[in-house]
Structure 1
């Protein structure tokens, strides 16, 4: 081990586990991150955000992009020194305290567990728009069963398939923007293609924009998910750039799509209340291009959402599996690998059952709960930079170090704090209850803090640790 080896790398097992192949280039990783983010989600949440911001959706995305940008820089700094474990709880564990890292990881489970539900709700809204006579709950059951079944059989990821779905979605979004531009020139909507009103007009209040930014914050969830590919990148040095590029490219897509959609629909009154609560994408497609654009835009959203659902479902199943392997969760259940399919059968089915509860929720409600976990992670990643570099490594004596490792992450913390202020009160209460349960579980896990906290790393390979898993294509997860 060299003197520059990170704590996580030093702790990583050297034998007895399979290594992940370094096959992913910079843009492959960025593509995976964008696929996880689901670019078409800007249309799904457009009506809800328009209501919250008094019709200034692009302003909300601009604020969120600035906030997430600073946090992305902090993620980049941490993944550079801890390249084998790209997640907030690992950074907190290595830079501050294992117990605190556990609680950040526990809280982050909200994101992981609820993201498949978001995808279920979005697909439900698409199908309801196309088949209004079919009960909505049926679509949740059908798609949850299908996704769970696919992942139960095999969890092999395919970045090429993800890229195809992503390119298709972005191409359809480009066609949509071109059609909107033509309609704006012809006098539809705001009647212009150049205006500051999507960002600022007399009825816009900064507090309302912040509230909208808190909602769209979840749209960026996925930029941090690319850190899970740190061990599969051709060069670990590409990871900071991949993180920042994912944020910037994703933010640009959201801003452009949100800007032209806001010009085309200056008021949220254009959408029925039920569409605002679930998804306005089908309604936007119908009003801009009739049934054919509604179908094509819905197909693009469907493809992007399905890809994101498969990725998020597999990711959380993998995370729960590793937590079970390491004794953080009951090993007999959560660490179980099916000898027939070589997949974590229990965790895959468990996530599917959680996804079924989407029947009782709206997209607006789930987004609020997800943002609690996201903001916890973002806040502590910024704190981790200060703790690791400025305090543990004593890099706080030059102007450059002070700016890079204290000022920049502190700005990220302050900006994230602005989103905390606007978090929905119900989401805050539910989130605090979940965190409280994590504290109680930590007490039990450590027997009153008398035992060390077991570490868990979602990026650990799950092949090679069990005798029933034989080398071969079906054992890859």
Structure 2
């Protein structure tokens, strides 16, 4: 065990922004382009714009709450502290969908990449190989730094920049809409608001991870760093998504050209820059996805471990640490097993299911601002009413609208998951006769960091 009691305050705004963007994986805009273009009838940038507005409102609320709870930046912690432990548990339970399914999404995207390059190889081979490697690395340990994430993000953004240049050349030569400046990717006569909102629920998945920035609170140089980094991450990430999707939509007004609509990145690379650029495009996206996969696998397994250690899940199994590696091996393997389901599902369904939990969490972050500042602290002057009631109300309403327009199957799956959570809560509390165990993953993860990980590994866990 380490004697460290506090994390080193070494991360500035841009270091944290780089970590947030790395988690968001900017190349995902090309992976989901075909799905969203089909849903919105060819206005993917508008779906991203709607999602960006919603996420900015929510990011501002995260910024407010992370200053109130600087060591516990998460939606279920805010809900528990402001609206009670039972509601906090349910928000946390729905958030588990994000944690458990994000590693699966990364495995699914890797499968599609490899399938496009080696169409004759059975897809299960790629999924098994990827999951085994990622699970093994997490079980043994892994080392990385914020500077490595920064390099990865810079490389990804440069790759997207090259794509925009190549796309501009292709548009100049008559491909797609045949012009750089066109309103068609944003609006045309066949566009319907409901379709745009449905598309926005899918692309909201692209923003998942910006809230993970709250995990770096104790490593930030000062208390104002994290709220600024949250907002910058959303704005920069949203800007990248919007610009990249605009050029892609201008090049491909409809999806009829794509053979695989579930993941269009490989074909986009081929059509825009030829075989060489396709390989480069896939390589960059592959590296970004693997890095995101390692991080999301680690986060999911450690959340399950903390829940086990606190007694929310069976402690003997979920709270087990390997005596040599000092890693939660059981939950790491369990996360890997869940990831194996990437053999079957499509990206649209999984992304929508993830958004079920994420959008509920985002809604309650906004509501937490209202309860804490406006109701409890009675901060109700003119400017405070705008900051602590009107803005978070718009944020909660907007995330609620997106949640309402989720894919039907995802909505059903999410409701079933929520019902299971309610039944489980009733069971462990003996119908509210016992206290509910803490589900404060980030607070406990920080304690876990101090107990079993050295400072370098803390950065990886975060």
Partner of 2:410: 427
- In the TM superposition, 1:51-130 aligns within 5 A as 51-130=38-117
Q: 2:210 aligns with which of 204, 207, 223?
A: 223
Name stretches of at least 5 consecutive residues in structure 2 with no aligned partner: none
Q: Write the distance in 2 (CA, Å) between the matches of 1:233 and 1:153.
A: 28
Partner of 1:280: 264
Q: Write the distance in 1 (CA, Å) between the matches of 2:457 and 2:72.
A: 24
Partner of 2:373: 389
Equivalent pairs, count: 456
Which secondary structure state, in structure 1, belongs to the residue aligned with residue 436 of structure 2? coil
Partner of 2:330: 346
Q: 2:361 aligns with which of 377, 388, 393?
A: 377
- Is 1:40 paired with 2:27? yes
CA RMSD after TM alignment:
1.7
Cα-to-partner distance string for 1:268-300 (whole Å, 9 max, x where unaligned): 11212xx112x1000101111111111000011
Stretch deviating more after TM superposition (121-130 or 442-451): 442-451
Q: 1:171 aligns with which of 146, 155, 158?
A: 158
In the superposition, relative to structure 1, how do residues 180 and 463 fare at CA in structure 2: closer, same or farther (>3 Å)? closer
Aligned residues of 2:135 and 2:332 also touching (Cα < 8 A): yes
Q: Write the distance in 2 (CA, Å) between the matches of 1:322 and 1:231.
A: 19
Q: Write the distance in 2 (CA, Å) between the matches of 1:56 and 1:472.
A: 45
- In the TM superposition, 1:282-297 aligns within 5 A as 282-297=266-281
Which secondary structure state, in structure 2, belongs to the residue aligned with residue 270 of structure 1? coil
Which secondary structure state, in structure 1, belongs to the residue aligned with residue 335 of structure 2? helix
Cα-to-partner distance string for 1:37-67 (whole Å, 9 max, x where unaligned): 1100000000010000000010100011011
Which secondary structure state, in structure 1, belongs to the residue aligned with residue 214 of structure 2? helix
Partner of 1:436: 419
Q: Write the distance in 2 (CA, Å) between the matches of 1:56 and 1:271.
A: 17
Aligned residues of 1:342 and 1:474 also touching (Cα < 8 A): no
Q: 2:177 aligns with which of 169, 184, 190?
A: 190
Q: 2:195 aligns with which of 204, 208, 215?
A: 208
Which secondary structure state, in structure 1, belongs to the residue aligned with residue 261 of structure 2? helix
Which secondary structure state, in structure 2, belongs to the residue aligned with residue 24 of structure 1? coil
- Is 1:368 paired with 2:352? yes
Q: Write the distance in 2 (CA, Å) between the matches of 1:457 and 1:420.
A: 24
Shift of 1:155: 4.2
Which secondary structure state, in structure 2, belongs to the residue aligned with residue 432 of structure 1? helix
Partner of 1:49: 36
